[in-house]
Structure 1
């Protein structure tokens, strides 16, 4: 992964604030690796909310995370999300976690557009692409 853009908080337009809870930590006092996914999910809520439809679902096909620094309790985390790329039937969301401006973790999440009726992936229709692009500039199309 290692997309340097994901370290630059200035590129992000959508943010969510999260707090590290004591129960998020392991026996060594670090945030458990599994909890990072929940922080990233909270950051993607804007995409899930804006793109919700009775016709489609947006399952995740892939998540890749890079943990860059230890996160400990207590802390306030800023989660940023941006649209990296659109494909034929999928789109890639880039994310970053920061504490006081320091990058702590990054992720790339691939969502696939699935037709609710037949349960199969389907090409991104123009109205859906329009909604998706309204969430911010896409960094690459493909």
Structure 2
């Protein structure tokens, strides 16, 4: 793939990741499952969810816990084209989160992880997640919603 096309694809997929985490942070993931293919795999730092319905259930349970403030920060985004319609994405995801309403006390990230994803291009040209795995590198004792 020519360098300019590769850069444009990386930018498009980084924007997809940012839009996904924005949905989680601003809307508690109410619509997060729409970012995944039907048979997707989502692996948190605690357990794995298979299928769009299971992923939707995870975010429903997250909402039922009550108010939670989170910020998922995406950094060092990289891609590797696997096929014309599949791309591997990897980046550092820093999670700042706590239960409650803003303004909360400022603390360091509760988790810094490698996000390992595969996206699949759909017939309409859009991209959906085939898999997302979060591999923690650093964690504190603050509970996540995994």
TM surpasses 0.5: no
Normalized per residue, which structure has more strand?
2
Which structure has the higher relative contact order (CA within 8 Å, separation 6+)?
Answer: 1
Q: TM-score of the superposition, structure 2-length normalised?
A: 0.32
